[in-house]
Amino acid sequence: MKAGQTALVTGVTGQVGHYVAEILTRAGLNVVGLVRQSTTGRAGRGAAELPYRPVPGDLLDEYSLLSLLEETRPDYIFNFGAQSFIPASWTQPILTAQYTGLGVVRLMEAVRRAVPHCRVLQAGSSEMFALSGTSPQDESTPLRPRNPYGVAKAFAYHTMLCYRQHYDLFATNAIFYTNESPRRSTEFLFRKVTRAVAEIVAKKREQLSLGNLDTVRDWGFGPEFANVAVQLLCQPAPDDFVVATGQGHTIQQMVERAFALVDLSWRDYVHIDTSLVRSSEPAPLIGNSDKLRRQCGITIALGFEEVLRLILAYDLRREGLRVPFELPDSPYRSYVDA
């Protein structure tokens, strides 16, 4: 990537999309962020402070996408636009399919027509492997989703394959496993736990309600995954890559460790609410990123313990509290340092 080139980031108000925009801006690229009218205020800052130029557009509207690409002529596109909250994919399955699945068709059609030279990265999801029956998963694992979100992501994945093979476009699939950051919403479980632990230490709450504690996840760090996304569009050729730490932990292990880091017993504060248990819990979702390491020389540096310490430290400081444990010695520490 070169200074002065243009990159378009969809889903730029989400965590990984925003970090990608920051990385590209620091590298001297002109970054355009596609935003729907309903999300323009989510970043919480004025447009002049954003690491991208916000432009209105919608993955539901192929004409606005085509017009935008003809106007901006991007060299790179990072597609993080999606309806990504899994419970909402059950209450809004059609909307999820339109944004998360068909939105990729609309985008790639616009690319094919307006900027066929453009390099495109599609953000996939470990939820595509929910019924695969094997763990860990890699690029050869059959896609067998278990919820509308995973189905839409699988459709998008195959769309990228089709446009790569049929039109010879630079279309890369990055299959991102669960990743966390200070920008992650507290409606997602990991941040829900770290925020609750900080508030319990601050004496602002007394209890945390959770569902199934046996679910296994592979948790990485959002800013690191954003850096991987940028590196993948600098590769000589497009391909499909699993992006994961390779470490699986149950929700109970995560909760137990989070409370232990502040010298508390999780059993004193956690309440099991059966209404929060998913009716279709996936198999253990643990990613194998060997191909990413072998082919691209990219190794995921931060694992479960480092990610948990970074996010919990951020939430403790947010409450004005001292951090009672050491933080990992990593450049990514700057994302939570006050």
**Which pLDDT does position 44 carry in this prediction?**
43
**Which pLDDT does position 91 carry in this prediction?**
80
**Which pLDDT does position 232 carry in this prediction?**
98
**Which pLDDT does position 276 carry in this prediction?**
66
d(CA 246, CA 219): 9
Contact 144, 129 (CB under 8 A): yes
d(CA 18, CA 182): 12
d(CA 228, CA 174): 9
Residue type, 294: R
d(CA 3, CA 28): 4
pTM > 0.85: yes or no = yes
**Which pLDDT does position 42 carry in this prediction?**
47
Active site residue 63: no
The answer to whether the bond into 56 is cis (omega within 30° of 0) is no
Catalytic position from the list 99, 149, 163, 335? 149
What does residue 121 show for φ and ψ, rounded to 5 degrees? Answer: -115, 125
Domains of the chain, start order: 6-178+221-243 (3.40.50.720), 181-217+249-283+302-335 (3.90.25.10)
Q: Name the token pair of 219.
A: 């948790």
**Which pLDDT does position 195 carry in this prediction?**
97
Active site residue 125: yes
Q: How far is CA 233 from the centre of its chain?
A: 17
33: which strand partners? Answer: 9, 54
Helices 304-318 and 189-201: crossing angle in degrees, nearest 10, is 50
Number of H helices and E strands in the chain, helices first, is 11, 13
Q: Name the token pair of 35.
A: 């935003």
Q: Which residues lie closer than 8 Å to 285 by C-beta, 6 or more apart?
A: 126, 127, 129, 130, 135, 137, 177, 178, 216, 217, 218, 248
**Which pLDDT does position 282 carry in this prediction?**
64
d(CA 161, CA 169): 9
Residue 325, by phi and psi: left (phi above 0), alpha (psi -120 to 50) or beta? beta
Active site residue 127: yes
Catalytic position from the list 19, 52, 89, 127? 127
Positions in the chain short of pLDDT 70: 37-48, 84-85, 276-282, 338
Q: Name the token pair of 250.
A: 């149950």
Q: How far is CA 191 from the centre of its chain?
A: 13
